[in-house]
Structure 1
Amino acid sequence: MITLYGIKTCDTCRKARKALQAQGLPFKVHDLRDDGLSAALLDHLLERVPVMTLLNKRSTTWRQLNETVKAGLDAHTARTLMLEHPTLIKRPLLDIGERVRVGYRDGDYDDLTG
């Protein structure tokens, strides 16, 4: 089963959801804010996506972080920050089993089949 990770208020996540629906693909939605982010789930994602690719440095949450925290960033710190602040994860994430796609632009899911 395909899983779309995101946040319900995110416009790009809504577009991704509509693209999957338009193709008639079965999927479930996991809202990182409402449904939470466990260490196990984050580790599952990090097995498929490099930590710095997953970290959203353009988010409001990132901009609000202390500059000292940002300056001392490494893979371990980034993982810890994402667990504390799930909105630091780039979204949407599309988990199709063997890999996870990060972000969405029109046409990104056209190659998926149900």
Structure 2
Amino acid sequence: MYQVYGIPNCNTVKKALDWLSQHNIPFTFHNFKKEGIEATTLKNWCQQAGGWQNLLNKQGTTWRKLDANTQQSITTETKAIQLMQEMVSIIKRPVIVKGTTVVAIGFNEALYNTVFK
């Protein structure tokens, strides 16, 4: 069983959930907005993703709305994790996990066809 972490109204999350459902991939959904996320989980994900920079979504609206001083202050994993806990919508999504292993971040159909087959 896969665990999908995200925000239900996010278009990328919707695409991923639709794809998983269409391919009969069993999953449960963890809503960041309602359920939050533990710092230890984020630290684990950062390590698996090759660094916090690959988990922090700098392309999204949440990041762009931050003032320049806040953006420039995010220089370490600790600071990035703190920001991701405070503003969960700044985490790239969805994050799909099996057990404690991250199998995918974001939606990429080609990757999904490889990972979930």
Task: Report the TM-score, using the length of structure 2 for normalisation.
Answer: 0.85
Seq. identity, %:
32
Contact 2:36–2:85 (8 Å) recurs in 1: no
Alignment length, in residue pairs? 113
> What are the Cα deviations for residues 39-82 of structure 1, in whole angstroms up to 9, with x where unaligned?
23222322312200000011221112121121122122111111
Structure 2: segments with no counterpart, 5+ residues: none
The structural deviation recorded for 1:91 is: 0.7
Q: 1:89 aligned to 2:88?
A: no
Where in structure 1 do 4 or more consecutive aligned residues deviate above 2 Å?
Answer: 96-100, 105-108
| Higher RCO (C-alpha 8 Å, min separation 6) | 1
> Which amino acid counterpart does residue 36 of structure 1 have in structure 2?
G
Bigger helix fraction: 2
Corresponding position of 1:14 = 14
Give the secondary structure class of the aligned counterpart of 2:48: coil
Corresponding position of 2:105 = 102
Structure 1: segments with no counterpart, 5+ residues: none
Q: CA RMSD in A?
A: 1.6
Give the secondary structure class of the aligned counterpart of 2:109: coil
Give the secondary structure class of the aligned counterpart of 1:20: helix
